[in-house]
Structure 1
């Protein structure tokens, strides 16, 4: 029975790994293209994430690879550092930082990042994905700042637009409840259908003649690789040699820190999501996962890959395909490696517009209008940090946007705690001074103003039962009022959680 169960688990892992490979292949290519990197860089990251990270990870179902959420950082990082080679140093250093996060047991710190900030970060990434991929979906080949808008519009390719529109229609239809009723639709991943349709469109257009054929620059360009030696040459080992000057460059460290923080956040969020959809609810050690991701990014940076993180799209596909262990993720990585050698001709038929459509669809799902509406209905406390994070990311960069969102959340929380911590109620000559929450030194001024409103011969109840902390200055002011009350014929009763501390008294009556 045990051997039969093992064989069954192995078969399910092999099947799940194949499904994840079919999902990951177009995503690796699309993310590489959106990042401004060679297609091979995306595939290398998928291979490293599938083999290296999965082997070291403590999660049985999580799948790692290049992520759409890191595209913005990659594009900005390459531009900031002056090229992909220098950017690879930042990827390697981000892996070192992630491994350090794991060693310092920082895996739980992500739980302290407010949810609106995380949602704002993901929504901003979605908006940027849409903005950056729309020109590619239109077939725009211009990219020079000197060219006019009219010349840019003139380069729009009708054939590419049709391919992009068809791809988006497939992606939208695949999510429709009417089609989800069919087992085939649930079994076959939508990105794979888009890629197959794109390859078919390339072949059909070519059959009608050169006038209708998709130009080479509008298709994936993966170099032909026939051996591991050729793969090593394609990866261009030794293309750059890190020097002390690189490690002294603050820009490289800024990019590395941004990558490490955002990739760690995405990884930890993905782990939580995978735990929720795992039928057995198996939790993964977050610190071990950070160390595994760190090693993966060190390897990716060393051999020319994009930065890696745990990806919920691939991970959820893995779970739904019936994966039982980490073997499925490893299988997907091995199949990506095989595809580099065996599927080059097919991969090079994939239109870039199809990949752009996949990323646009991903971006729309990250920044869907219903998310904005739902947070707005919840009030200023969640909606404020959400909008501030989005604005910060769009105006500056991801790390700055996250910091601004966290500061906004902290400011709103501080305001909520400081806003009217003390209330005064009156009925005839009876007054109730209630401490509704903990009171800092900032509560001294409103308390002083309230006590000044109490006339002589009044009866006052001071209720502090709901405050665990009262600042020394506030307590001193209250004690002075109680001490002076007999001089004004004021009866004062002070109530604490343990009971009545100062009995009701009336002096001078």
Structure 2
């Protein structure tokens, strides 16, 4: 098992820059390519000037990143702001865009000042009482609100009304008369006011828009490493289409630049209406979205940080508040800690906050060099990016995963989404909180336990037991956190749920994050009493309800009957375990921390392992398991299961290295400090594999002629060595039965070669 605390934390400040500038520069470059189109599309959807998104990203990278309490999160604008900002521009300016824009900037500044206050009052830690499903519903509802207008731009039509609801009702007018007439006949007189003549669609623009949307879905579905993000591909396609169709000479209305905004780069706010109700409404909505979304994303990025650093949420809220104030004064969009860019940052190996600075530096250089090109980007291309982002906020996979962790989570999501669409963001949050508390009550929680948790603590030597005596809910977790803060490092902590009537998913998620961080502090944690609860699904963190005593006895009988029943996957693993005289364990365990130090898990959280068996090669332990790599519910389409073999107790010194298949992105990585270690005498091996590691001489000594010959004949496996432990896997997917058998045999042969070489070297030394 990997020793805890062996990973040295990257240094911060100038020392961190000197130590990690190459990899942070590379990560910043890749994040920049994702940030650029998102800044442009968010500004476009918000009815802001196109460069306002660039301004906010520059403020985030050059100022906010050095004030931040989260080293790896990328700050910037998000599509979730588009609906409220577009509403502010339209309504505060009474139809005059430049006036509404200036008034909306004031709302951004006021929201930032309130965030500064929240951070100073340390209210950010209470964010855990709001379930993630509520935030997902809120953001999904905001996305749907802006979708109608974007469909018009996608097809090359111009929206002729300001009301989003009216835009939805008039959408059938985009269809040819023969297709739209049956709809209007069916709806009858109720919608006569919306029935208009067919709206003219520009076929060239419609082609650009539909093709761009298809490109977003196609390129985003590619699982293999790709150099350019989908949104960059769409921007490049849009620019080429602009010149192909000569839009820049005859039809500039379909390009993104707005003449009223083109007079100056910076437009400053107008404070003359800061006190009116609509300005205050926009202020509080920006505050809610920025703070809630930041908290969710920071928690997710903490979980996938290779070094398990814990962000300071209050400081993060404070920093983003300062950033919003500066961005608003300069004419930029509001900021949050973004999910997509932050995940991209972690996935590409960023070590410190300098990666965020570098991505803003790339953004600045790019803007200075090609700023004039921006005006040739078609609105349809940006609409495609926005529509895909809205799809991501409400993807079928997200809904499926919410249902899996608990139907009450899906209910919270749906109710919040509907309330946000029809009543607005503030009502969406309030109704979401109410439905959350109602769902807790329906699960069996008492009113007294909604915000207060009753615990009893006992301690015997280094073993501490905490009893949860009523209900374990996300809303009352802050009261438990006070007790967890007092637990010393390096103790054995038992959390007993045997008397808890209900344990909801949000609470389990919080406990899981604590368990992970506590295990890194050389502490051990055990959850007791869960067997007395019935989970609503097979998800390891699913909501659970206490079973009555009689029901428990009955369930035990059922369990005894079904004890020998395994699914098809478990039967395959059991068969391979039997061949290797190993004991098969199908149950789920929370022991992912022993794998978190390996490079393959970079950017992911190892939620659990299952279907495990272990055998010994001498005194060396070879452990097979299926693991679940997760990026959280929001990024669930990138989560996956895979099979790995972990080897520990190796009887020879093995330097840290990573051996994998060569691919195009890997060749680029070689330019940022991770050079491919090639062997001139073995061109076939060097061409097929990417071998990298810091101790090159020791790695070359390890890869003997016999080992290289073996690897050339047995291609298809990836190998990592960390802290003298070895990880072996094929692809980031589950192995079938034949592949499992081959993997075990491959591992044993690999160890034999290593041990024989070590023995020969020892004899020579003697």
TM-score, scaled to structure 2? 0.49
Match of 2:111 in 1: 94
Distance in 2 between residues matched to 1:264 and 1:287, nearest whole Å: 10
Match of 2:223 in 1: 180
Match of 2:69 in 1: 58
Distance 1:291 1:4, change over 3 A: closer
Residue 263 of structure 1 pairs with residue 290 of structure 2: yes
Contact 1:160 1:214 in 2 (8 A): no
Contact 2:83 2:143 in 1 (8 A): no
Q: What does the per-residue CA deviation read over 1:23-47, in whole Å, with 9 as the maximum and x for residues that have no partner?
A: 1111111111100111121211111
Shift in Å, 1:205: 2.2
Match of 1:216 in 2: 252
Distance in 2 between residues matched to 1:50 and 1:193, nearest whole Å: 24
Residue 11 of structure 1 pairs with residue 22 of structure 2: yes
Contact 1:202 1:214 in 2 (8 A): no
Distance in 2 between residues matched to 1:279 and 1:467, nearest whole Å: 34
Distance 1:214 1:120, change over 3 A: farther
Shift in Å, 1:80: 3.7
Distance in 2 between residues matched to 1:162 and 1:175, nearest whole Å: 20
Question: What are the residue-to-residue correspondences of 1:408-423 with 2, within 5 Å?
Answer: 408-417=435-444
Match of 2:58 in 1: 47
Contact 2:37 2:232 in 1 (8 A): yes
Shift in Å, 1:380: 4.8
Residue 402 of structure 1 pairs with residue 429 of structure 2: yes
Shift in Å, 1:301: 1.4
Distance 1:161 1:397, change over 3 A: same
Residue 109 of structure 1 pairs with residue 145 of structure 2: no
Q: What does the per-residue CA deviation read over 1:68-125, in whole Å, with 9 as the maximum and x for residues that have no partner?
A: 1111221223334331111111110100000011001111222110232122123223
Name the structure with the higher helix share: 1
Distance in 2 between residues matched to 1:214 and 1:30, nearest whole Å: 23
Match of 1:366 in 2: 393
Match of 2:695 in 1: none
Question: Which structure has more RCO (C-alpha within 8 Å, separation ≥ 6)?
Answer: 1
Question: What are the residue-to-residue correspondences of 1:75-224 with 2, within 5 Å?
Answer: 75-82=86-93, 83-144=100-161, 149=173, 153-176=198-221, 179-181=222-224, 183=225, 185=226, 187-206=227-246, 215-221=251-257
Match of 1:24 in 2: 35
Q: What does the per-residue CA deviation read over 1:221-269, in whole Å, with 9 as the maximum and x for residues that have no partner?
A: 288x9xxxx99x42134x62x25xx343233222212211210111111
Contact 2:135 2:293 in 1 (8 A): no
Larger displacement relative to structure 2 (138-147 or 112-121): 138-147
5+ unaligned residues in a row in structure 2: which ranges? 1-10, 94-99, 175-195, 447-468, 472-497, 502-766
Distance 1:467 1:14, change over 3 A: closer
Contact 2:72 2:342 in 1 (8 A): yes
Question: What are the residue-to-residue correspondences of 1:341-360 with 2, within 5 Å?
Answer: 341-360=368-387
Match of 2:82 in 1: 71
Shift in Å, 1:287: 0.7
Q: What does the per-residue CA deviation read over 1:284-309, in whole Å, with 9 as the maximum and x for residues that have no partner?
A: 11011011000001111112111111
Contact 1:103 1:287 in 2 (8 A): yes
Distance in 1 between residues matched to 2:21 and 2:401, nearest whole Å: 42
Compare CA radii of gyration and give the structure with the larger one.
1
Q: What does the per-residue CA deviation read over 1:476-503, in whole Å, with 9 as the maximum and x for residues that have no partner?
A: xxxxxxxxxxxxxxxxxxxxxxxxxxxx
Distance 1:191 1:467, change over 3 A: closer
Distance 1:402 1:335, change over 3 A: same
Match of 1:234 in 2: 265
Distance in 1 between residues matched to 2:406 and 2:38, nearest whole Å: 36
Shift in Å, 1:6: 6.0
Name the structure with the higher strand share: 2
Distance in 2 between residues matched to 1:44 and 1:222, nearest whole Å: 17
Report the 3-state secondary structure (helix = DSSP H, G, I; strand = E; otherwise coil) of the residue aligned with 2:119: helix
Partner of residue 354 from structure 2, selected from 324, 327, 338: 327
Contact 1:140 1:153 in 2 (8 A): no
Distance in 2 between residues matched to 1:6 and 1:84, nearest whole Å: 38
Q: What does the per-residue CA deviation read over 1:136-184, in whole Å, with 9 as the maximum and x for residues that have no partner?
A: 11111242479984777442111112112222222222233xx433x4x
Q: What does the per-residue CA deviation read over 1:328-360, in whole Å, with 9 as the maximum and x for residues that have no partner?
A: 211222332333332122222221111111111
Residue 294 of structure 1 pairs with residue 321 of structure 2: yes
Distance 1:56 1:203, change over 3 A: same
Distance 1:282 1:378, change over 3 A: closer
Distance in 2 between residues matched to 1:99 and 1:418, nearest whole Å: 35
Contact 2:107 2:274 in 1 (8 A): no
